[in-house]
Amino acid sequence: MPTAETIRVEVLYAPPRGAAFCVTVMLPADAHVGDALRASGLAQRYPDAPCVEGHVGIHARLVALDTPLADGDRVEVYRPLAQDPREARRQRARR
């Protein structure tokens, strides 16, 4: 249970194969996104996970690793797209 000095944050990642990674971590109230990623152990379990700027968000919005967290935030790690969605639509339309 979070207190005034701690917050509860979920860290999620969907690897290319296998079950999704979802961990809840308790952090100090002044924690940032990078702190949540380190505390989750994601990089140890999935060394190829892109835990870098441009691949991390909170509730589906891209954020920097130094973004402050709030209680209940969901930190998401996004994999690079296999194909540009616009190009995929163009190819389907051509067929």
Show pLDDT as tens, one digit a residue, over the chain (95 residues): 666 799 999 999 998 887 899 999 999 999 999 999 999 999 999 888 888 878 999 999 999 999 999 999 999 999 887 778 888 888 889 88
State the pLDDT at residue 80.
Answer: 80
pTM for the whole thing? 0.80
| Angle ∠(7,79,63) on CA atoms, nearest 5 | 45
Q: In the chain, where are the structural domains located?
A: 6-94
- Nearest C-alpha neighbor of 25 from the set 72, 63, 76: 72
CATH architecture of 6-94: Roll (3.10)
